[in-house]
Structure 1
Amino acid sequence: MATYVLIHGAWHGGWCWREVANSLRAQGHTVFTPTLTGNGQSRHLGNERITLETHARDVLGVIETEELSDVILVGHSYGGMVITAAADRAASKIRHLVYLDAFVPEHGECLADCIRHNLPPELAAIFIGHFFQAKDNGGLVPPIPGALFGQTPATTEWMERQCNPQALATFQLPVLLDGAADALPRSYIVADGWQPSPFQQQAAAISGKPGWTLHRLPGGHCLMMDLPAELSALLAQLA
């Protein structure tokens, strides 16, 4: 049996993994679904001083305090930034990194950079422009409407109900890496059910690279909410 740590994307919380976590636990696996600071049940703590570093430390805190090892660490969307930063510092505790329709940053890149590098300029400008709303919202970026991500109506309604604003600094702080996690096995799961997606290009960039496997599922961006059974089965295969 495996140990999974599932990291949500921007504006979400550990709540989004509910069905996937239940399925994996029913199979006998150990599953942690931490909520990053300022999101989900800790949204009341949201403030402009929260950064990507804060969220990386959230993940490291789970690994350290739960005394975990041989972890399958999964990051969705923005969560790819978080698991990249965390794995670089805790590589000896990680068995496998899984990027779920997620950004895979290089050393020195922030999430805004990843958007610029993976979308046509006119579309990247729209996404980056959304971040500017933080100046009128206490340094917090409102969630992007779920309807843009090709979700089912039920998933979209769930997202609109639960997502909360997130600190602009989490999208602006670059990932600083020393390469400690470079040798870890990695998988990329791309959602094929929505466009325009920056993750199609991200998947193409890693396709065929040594140490990577590529998988596709037909749902919208939030596969853990759109296709929990199919995603759970795929994650279980990695164990």
Structure 2
Amino acid sequence: MATFVLVHGAWHGGWCWRDVAAELSFAGHDVLTPTSSGLAERRALAASATLSAHIDELAGLLYFADLREVVLVGHSYGALVVTGAAARAHARISRLVYVDGMMAEDGQSMFDLLVPARRKWYEEATSGGVVVPPAPEALGIGPDRADWVADRLSPQPLATLTEPLAAPSFPPLARQYIRCTQGPLTGSFSGFATRLRDTAGWDVMDFDSGHDAMITRPLDLAAALVT
């Protein structure tokens, strides 16, 4: 059995992995779903939340919980957090999985990766040092879960999105990219999947869902993470 650490993206918290975590736990795996500072139940810490703080928190979790042979999974913005932590704690990780991840290189911020239309949306959604959450429909959430998700999304501290990633190269690890193929955000991530298909050491999978696959298709996503 494996140890999974599931890292959420912008506006979310560990709550978004609830059903995926339950399925993995039922199958006998150990699962952790940390919430980054400034979000969800930790939103009181928004003023001090940065990308480097989120990376510090995740790397600290791997160390202080003495986790080894970890399957480290990052969704969307969480890809930057996962990559930054992997650069510091690669010896504790067996595999990296990116679910519709924003694939930054060392020195790039998440804002640097946005296609023009998305950058415009982010700029218009920014006020008072935070980016307000999008409508659940934009994340691929149907009417049956829209209220549940909307009630739990938090404003994203702007500093987490503008700070460049500090992730020097680290030894190769098994790497997988799961591209969600449905919904209005596909154009924001398809370029990453296309590039990685031609990159040695990457396994790229197309997954028939909107961006928040962990909420809309948790059982199938859990199965994809195990394979």
* TM-score (normalizing by structure 2): 0.95
C-alpha separation in 2, matches of 1:125 and 1:41: 27
Q: Quick one: distance in 2 between partners of 1:110 and 1:185?
A: 24
Q: 1:65 to 1:124 in 2, by over 3 A?
A: same
Give the letter for the 1:11 counterpart: W
* Residue aligned with 1:54, SS: helix
Cα offset, 1:45, TM superposition? 2.2
| Aligned residue among 174, 179, 187 for 1:185 | 174
Query: What displacement does 1:126 show?
Result: 2.1
Residue 157 (structure 1) shift: 2.3
Residue 77 (structure 1) aligns with: 76
Output the CA distance in 2 between the equivalents of 1:195 and 1:68.
36
Cα displacement (A) at 1:104: 1.0
State whether residues 152 and 220 of structure 1, in contact with CA within 8 Å, keep that contact through their aligned partners in structure 2: no
Cα deviation for residue 214 of structure 1 reads: 0.7
Cα distance in structure 1, aligned partners of 2:87 and 2:207? 28
Instruction: Give secondary structure in 1 for the equivalent of 2:151.
Output: helix
1:153 to 2:147 alignment: no
Q: Return the alpha-carbon distance in structure 2 between the equivalents of residues 45 and 177 of structure 1.
A: 24
Contact 1:37 1:43 in 2 (8 A): yes
Report how far residue 216 of structure 1 moved.
Answer: 1.5
User: Which amino acid counterpart does residue 91 of structure 1 have in structure 2?
Assistant: H
Q: For 2:121, which of 93, 105, 127 is the aligned residue?
A: 127
Distance verdict in 2 for CA 1:143–1:87, change over 3 Å: same
In the alignment, the residues of structure 1 paired with residue 179 and residue 147 of structure 2 have an alpha-carbon distance, to the nearest angstrom, of 22
CA distance in 2, matches of 1:226, 1:220: 8
* Residue identity matched to 1:53: S
- RMSD value, Cα: 1.3
Is the Cα contact below 8 Å between 1:103 and 1:114 reproduced in 2?
A: yes
What does residue 104 of structure 2 align with? 105
Q: Distance in 1 between matches of 2:56 and 2:102?
A: 18
Once the two structures are TM-superposed, the CA of residue 15 in structure 1 deviates from its matched residue by 0.4
Stretches of structure 1 lacking an aligned partner (at least 5 in a row): none
In structure 2, what is the Cα distance between the partners aligned to 1:125 and 1:226? 25
- Partner of 1:173 in structure 2? 163
CA contact (8 A) 1:187 1:212 kept: yes
1:233 aligns with 2:223: yes
- Per the alignment, in what secondary structure is the counterpart of residue 203 of structure 1? helix
Q: CA deviation at 1:110?
A: 0.2
Distance (whole Å) between structure 2 residues aligned to residue 24 and residue 148 of structure 1: 27
Task: Give the deviation of 1:13 after TM superposition.
Answer: 0.4
| TM-score, scaled to structure 1 | 0.90
Equivalent-residue separation in structure 1 for 2:160 and 2:39 (angstroms) = 12
Question: Post-superposition shift, 1:196?
Answer: 4.1
125 and 62 in structure 1: CA distance in 2 versus 1, 3 angstrom threshold: closer
Partner of 1:212: 202
CA-to-partner distance for each residue in 1:186-237, whole Å, 9 max, x for gaps? 1000111113421111111111311100111111100000100100111111
- Specify every segment of 5 or more residues in structure 2 that has no aligned partner in the other structure, as ranges: none
CA–CA distance in 1 between the matches of 2:107 and 2:44? 30
